[in-house]
Structures are given as C-alpha cells and as structure tokens.
Amino acid sequence: MAFAPDTWPRQFRDLIRLSNKYLLNPLMLRLAGTRYWYASVIRHTGRRSGKQFATPVVADRVGERFIVPLPYGTQVDWLRNVLTAGHASLTTRGETFELTAPEIIDATEALPLLPRDRRRTFERTGIDHYLRASIETSVQ
C-alpha cells in the first residue's frame, strides 16, 4: 500500500509544503550536503528574480547522473528554476557537482536505477516523478 502524497487533500499537502519550506528547510540546510548527512542541497537561480536559492533534497548518484525524487510534484519553485535555467549545482556528502540537462522522468524509468532501499521507500510513498540531471564536472 502506497502512502502517496498525491492522494492527500490539497490543503494538507500545501500546509506540509509550506511548513517544510519555511520551517524545516532552513534547519535542514545547516546539514544538507555535508559528508555524513543523507540530504543534499541543490543551488539554483530564480527564474524571475535572478536570486540564488538553496533547497535541501534527497539525491542519488547513478553513474554520471543524479536522480532526485519529487514528492511535491513537478510544479515546485526550485524545480521550475532548475528546468528553466538548464543547470544547477548539487552538494552531496561534501562534494559539489555541476548539473546539466535536467529532465523530469517518471517512476517507471527512475526506480530501476536506484538502490533497493531507496526504491522501496519511494515506491511506498508513491512518488511519481523524479528529476534526472547529468554531471558536468566535479568542483572541489
């Protein structure tokens, strides 16, 4: 049985998304991307403001690409910024990567690429879409 956020009432999803954005994310950013923390941080430029933003995400390296689950769907600001710009930087486990060629893929394409424990978690939570982006170069 999936614990799919898409099945939750919209107002509830919006409340969770906003509380994460303004309460949890600022706390997560203190640890995201560090060597021993599970979360990564994606840095992107606002498509209208031009400001630099940082958002904590879960990211798995698969060969020369990263896969990022999209539990809040495909209309979140950070994702729209990355897709519009065509690039972003991702810091994970203390290493920073420049990402290019971002694209949205569905679960049937993403899940087989992921480690078994992640795949199982994402299947149970009913995440339907994922960001896939290529690694351009490693920045030290």
Q: What pTM was computed for the model?
A: 0.85
Report residue 12's pLDDT band, with 50, 70 and 90 as the boundaries: confident
SS (H, E, C) 33-51: CCCCCCCEEEEEECCCCCC
Question: What SS3 class is residue 6?
Answer: helix
**Quick one: pLDDT at residue 119?**
95
Report residue 1's pLDDT band, with 50, 70 and 90 as the boundaries: very low
Assigned CATH class of 5-139? mainly beta
Kindly state the DSSP code that residue 74 receives in the 8-state scheme. Answer: S
Find the mean pLDDT for residues 118-122: 94
Position 112 pLDDT exceeds 80:
yes
Domain parsing of the chain, residue ranges: 5-139
Strands lying side by side in the sheet with 87-92: 52-57, 40-45, 87-92, 95-106, 129-139, 65-69, 60-62
**Quick one: pLDDT at residue 2?**
53
Residue 87 in contact with residue 100, Cβ under 8 Å?
yes
Residue 2: how many CB atoms within 10 A of its CB?
A: 13
Report residue 137's pLDDT band, with 50, 70 and 90 as the boundaries: low
Report residue 19's pLDDT band, with 50, 70 and 90 as the boundaries: confident
Give the phi and the psi of residue 43 in degrees, each rounded to 5.
-105, 130
